[in-house]
Structure 1
Amino acid sequence: MSTNEAKQGAVSKGPGEERRRSKTMSRKEMARDLRRRRLAGEIDPEEQELLSFIDKVRPKTRADCVNGPRPCLFVSCKHNLYLDVNPETGSIKLNFPDKEIWELEYTCALDVAEKGGITLEEVGAIMNLTRERIRQVETRGLMKLREATEKDPEPPPSEGRKAL
């Protein structure tokens, strides 16, 4: 079987038999396919109605979602804690494989940020990570911030002074 056949979902069971399997698509592929179908007018009315509804109710600012239902309904939001999506491959990583989303105390990183300063243990419990791992992430983030501020260009010389 060729690579193209595998991507299309065809699996050979034996002589003369072919079985279909589910097709895997990255998030980027799905977005391209949706755009292509929209431009070609190939979206079925029920799908269009659902997409319009989602676009209408999906929060666009923090103010739109601050008093929204919890757990957050929009797992594809970049602030949702339940899962992470790799932006390059579209693969999904569940952060809490042993829990369902409704079992989480917090599902939005912005809700956690609004709590103010919390301990590494509390962050670890929320993120399903150890205190030590949270400390490592914190240290790496602070180093990146320090590097970014050190790389800032010096302010231009004032009008009255000559640059060397």
Structure 2
Amino acid sequence: MVLDSALVTCGAGVDIRSIITGFDLLRVVVKDLPHNTNFNEVATAFTLSGVNPENVILQETKPNGRLADAIFLIKADQLEPTAFGSDRTIDFQSRRFLFEVGPISSEDSMTLSSQNTNTLTVYWRVPSTSMIATYPTLEVAKAKAKELDAKMLRGHRVKPS
């Protein structure tokens, strides 16, 4: 089963400011940063290169020996090759750092970003397929609906309506 996610940016209360679906997000890993890096400044380096600040979020950081990797979620259409070149590097603190770009995949879940309390990352299953069944009478249709209710079909629970 294909699983995807979305980046939901919230304000105070129930103020949802934007939703970027997993289909439109990329996971970007900036490699081998100094361990004392202010990772939000790395996000700023992306915005200075043309990425809309609302379309980039620091998801997490991972120690890598004496260095660290920063993992961002960025809207796919914001990573134009012209802005970052074919070498996939970003300028930060007078140095060029490599970054890797890949798709997002995760289990169904909902978590707060560890780096930004204004952002909630929501994961959900891709919607299932609708099916239409035709029966000769309403009575037969109701009987079949009752018979099929909650049965499993290709890993999905049937919910007739």
TM-score normalised to structure 1 length: 0.21
Higher helix share: 1
Select the structure with the greater relative contact order (CA < 8 A; seq sep ≥ 6): 2
| Structure 1 or 2: more strand by fraction | 2
Higher alpha-carbon Rg:
1
